[in-house]
Amino acid sequence: MTTDAEIAFETRLTEQASAVEARLRRSLDDRPLSGEIARPERLLLAMRHGVLNGGKRLRPFLVMESAALFDPDARDDTALCVAAALECVHCYSLIHDDLPAMDDDDLRRGQPTVHRAYDEATAILAGDSLLTLAFDIIAGEPWEHGKRPTAATRLVLVKGLARAAGLGGMTGGQMLDLAAEHASPDEAGIIRLQAMKTGALIRFACEAGAILAHASSADQERLAEFGSAIGLAFQLADDLLDMTADASQIGKATGKDAAAGKATLAALHGADWARRQLNGLVEQAHALLDPYGERAAMLKAAATFVANRTR
């Protein structure tokens, strides 16, 4: 039976997703920005296909709710801009992950992947353009509503996002994931891979909200640790779904990790172990938020959602 807390969380998640979607549409209209010459229609359509295709928008949600934890007024256009920028990076990574040279997927969120709907070259350029758009939003956005962050705060956010998305974060994790098809890593190697490929952006999402709200350095680190815990839970739940769900349930192909010979924690220890670990990660995440009392209810609900999701 669905509880009142779960209903409240699902409602807030849906509301935030709609706000992020609207914000992304603004960034992806056909009017060139200052300094741009033109926006090629086919490339713009491919970008929209890759980013305006539904999804829970969990990472943006974490940015906005982490900011609101410290400043109830922080869930405004300021946090929304950073949330939209992060979603651009996430969706760029999905477009590139789906390419034949990577995971070679035909479906994403129940729709044809960008390289299937358009072509491989356009998909590569769409991903490239979403990545650069993310930094444009943070560094160049006029921020006409809400609290305008200082140049120093923008610099911290740009650096944090770059490191979470780059060599020592998401793309580095993707490289390790590709290598894992040929030489299976041990448990420590799998955890490192997943912390980079999946966890880095989730960790940044939680930390970025605290940064935007001018939380103390101790609070910023606590939120980053919370992000690390739910990042590992997210990937573990994903691996479990890949083992046990079907494509119609989660909107993409399943069983691909096993077919590619990739080592995952769920495959290494089994589904029952994975479920126990998920419960432990949720407890860890909740404990990190206990000092904030009821203000952290939405973030605690997000941790539970991540571990229990069915798609």
Which tens digits make up the pLDDT trace of 253-291? Answer: 555 555 555 778 988 889 899 999 999 999 999 999 999
Give me the CATH number covering residue 48.
1.10.600.10
Partners of residue 107 on adjacent β-strands: 112
Backbone angles phi, psi at 111, to 5 degrees: -125, 160
Joined together, the tokens standing for residue 61 give 């949600």
Query: 66 near 223, Cβ under 8 Å?
Result: yes
d(CA 219, CA 210): 7
Domain of residue 197: give its range. 4-308
The model's pTM = 0.92
CB 240 within 8 A of CB 275: yes
By CB neighbour count within 10 A (0-12 exposed, 13-18 middle, 19+ buried), where does 172 fall? middle
**Model confidence pLDDT, tens digit, residues 170-200:** 999 999 999 988 888 999 999 999 999 999 9
At residue 76 the predicted structure's pLDDT band, cuts being 50, 70 and 90, is confident
Calculate the alpha carbon distances from 33 to 42, 59, 116, 127, 246 in Å.
17, 26, 29, 19, 42
Rounded Cα distance, 282 and 264, in Å: 19
The tally of domains found in the chain comes to: 1
Express each pLDDT in 100-114 by its tens digit: 999 999 999 889 999
Q: How far apart are CA 144 and CA 40, in angstroms?
A: 27
Cβ–Cβ under 8 Å, residues 171 and 31: no
